[in-house]
Amino acid sequence: MANYHSNVQDYYSKELKSTYDLKTSACCTKGSTPHSIKSILKDIHPDVQAKYYGCGLVFPPKLENCKVLDLGCGSGRDVYILSRLVGPQGFVVGVDMTKEQIDVARQHIDYHMKKFNYKESNVKFIEGKIENLTALGINENFFDVVVSNCVINLTPDKKAVINEVWKVLKPGGEFYFSDVYADQTISEDLRNNKILWGECLSGAIKWEDLVLYATEAGFTTPRLVTAQQIDITNDDLKKLVGTPVYFSKILFFTIFFSHFSGNIRFVSATFRLFKIPLNEAEINIPYLLTYESGIPDFEDAFLFDNTITFKRGELVSCGPTLASAVLNSRYRDNFTFEPIDNTKQYDGQIVIVEEQKERPVFLKYATCQMLMFKARRLASSLMEYRT
Ligand SMILES: C[S@@+](CC[C@H](N)C(=O)[O-])C[C@H]1O[C@@H](n2cnc3c(N)ncnc32)[C@H](O)[C@@H]1O
């Protein structure tokens, strides 16, 4: 495709006028929305909501007073929800390269300021590309949290975006984002299809690439929070990508069929990554962490990712990477912690959390397939749970 950026700008200004024009469920949030977000949504202007094309929920907890950046904010739905969540002392910046989308977002600044009873607005919208945030005047080491909703798949240079996120986050900051993933390399033909790319499919991120780019940039290993299946209902698009076969309970057959049938499996998934400070010296050993509560909406248990839940008062043994992620982040104050002393007797039962270890290259492929499999399984179990 000659120019990915201008094709995407065309798609999100001329082709799509509202959520109803989408041809797949890729840019479409499915599943249940928490009550706290639903009540904020009531205050979001209908014109802003009509042009929402996100694929997940990008609202990690404990955002009050935070500075948050939304990459590819579109018409600003998530920016305005975040504006409410960070409160009047917090600040939210949205960046998007499509003028028509940014214009809709900007037109509703006053509306939301009044709705939220703020004396002055706490949001700002910048028109520009997310591959070079510092060129847009965005400061390095500035944001507590960076979010993004169904955008990184649309950029041809995903590595550049992840590197930029690392730069603009404060040490210990969190990158929390939903996006579209594919289980195999997508052919040049499909990548050149303007509709498939615009619908967030043929630019889908490969699992291997996420893990590679994130760890190379200096982030902790990405932690999968949640995942959803993507349905392709449009017959023309279905013919192009094939109808994938799923054996959600038999990993071997799932991998075998996906690779030899040529059919691509897509999921949307939400990951959280943490920027570890460069001078990190303190945490290179396992720690014992105890969640003490205090994270809003997670009084009894903090759902960290799809496998780890810190229950209030429970002693959890964490490897250095996980301990480092939690203890350098804004969640630190919600935990008590101490280095694990193998000679000491601890009161109470200790829960051991499995940490992903660095694997040799030949095993990385299997790790990523496993991640994809886990996301699919998570997606289908969540669907079963909801129905
Ligand atoms: C699928 S929409 C999602 C919009 C928004 N996050 C939402 O949830 O409604 C993708 C958005 O990303 C923007 N975008 C895609 N690539 C971009 C890039 N390289 N730089 C800036 N914005 C980009 C598009 O203009 C579009 O508004």
Helix (H, G, I), strand (E, B) or coil at 23: coil
Q: Which atom number of ligand 1 is nearest to the Cα of residue 96? A: 22
Question: Which ligand 1 atom lies nearest to the CA of residue 131?
Answer: 19
Q: Which ligand 1 atom sits closest to the C-alpha of 129?
A: 20
For the chain, list residues with pLDDT below 70: 1-2, 21, 23-31, 242-263, 278-283, 354-387
Q: Which pLDDT score, from 0 to 100, does residue 73 have?
A: 98
Q: How far apart are CA 38 and CA 155, in angstroms?
A: 30
CA of 79 to the centre of ligand 1 (A): 13
| Structure confidence at residue 379 (pLDDT) | 56
Residue whose Cα lies nearest atom 25 of ligand 1: it is: 98
Q: Which token pair is 145?
A: 């949290």
Residue with tokens 């300021």: 113
Q: How many angstroms separate the alpha carbon of residue 282 from the centre of ligand 1?
A: 38
Spell out the alpha helix ranges (H) of 145-283: 158-168, 188-191, 194-198, 207-217, 235-241, 251-261
Residue 228: beta bridge partners?
Answer: 268
Predicted-complex ipTM score: 0.99
Question: 4-275+363-386: what fold?
Answer: Rossmann fold (3.40.50)
Please report the pLDDT score of residue 51 as a whole number.
Answer: 93
What is the CB < 6 Å shell around ligand 1? 5, 8, 12, 27, 52-54, 72-74, 77-78, 96-98, 101, 129-131, 149-151, 154-155, 200
pLDDT at 387: 28
Quote the pLDDT of residue 271: 94
Q: Are strands 287-291 and 315-318 parallel, antiparallel or unpaired?
A: antiparallel
Q: Measure the CA–CA gap between 3 and 6, rounded to whole angstroms.
A: 6
Task: Enumerate the domain spans of the chain.
Answer: 4-275+363-386, 287-352
Q: Distance from the CA of 42 to the center of ligand 1, in angstroms?
A: 23
What is the pLDDT at residue 356?
Answer: 47
Give the pLDDT confidence score for residue 186 in this predicted structure: 86
Question: Which CATH fold topology does 287-352 show?
Answer: Ribosomal Protein L9; domain 1 (3.40.5)
Whether the domain at 4-275+363-386 and the domain at 287-352 fall into the same CATH topology: no
Tell me what pLDDT residue 385 has: 38
Ligand 1 centroid from CA 72, angstroms: 4
Q: Which atom of ligand 1 is nearest to the CA of 75?
A: 9
- Pocket perturbation via mutation, ligand 1, pick of 106, 147, 154, 157 by most ligand atoms within 8 A of CB: 154
Whose alpha carbon is nearest atom 8 of ligand 1? 54
Task: Give the residue whose CA is nearest to atom 13 of ligand 1.
Answer: 72
Contact assessment for residue 329 and residue 96, using Cβ atoms and an 8 Å cutoff: no
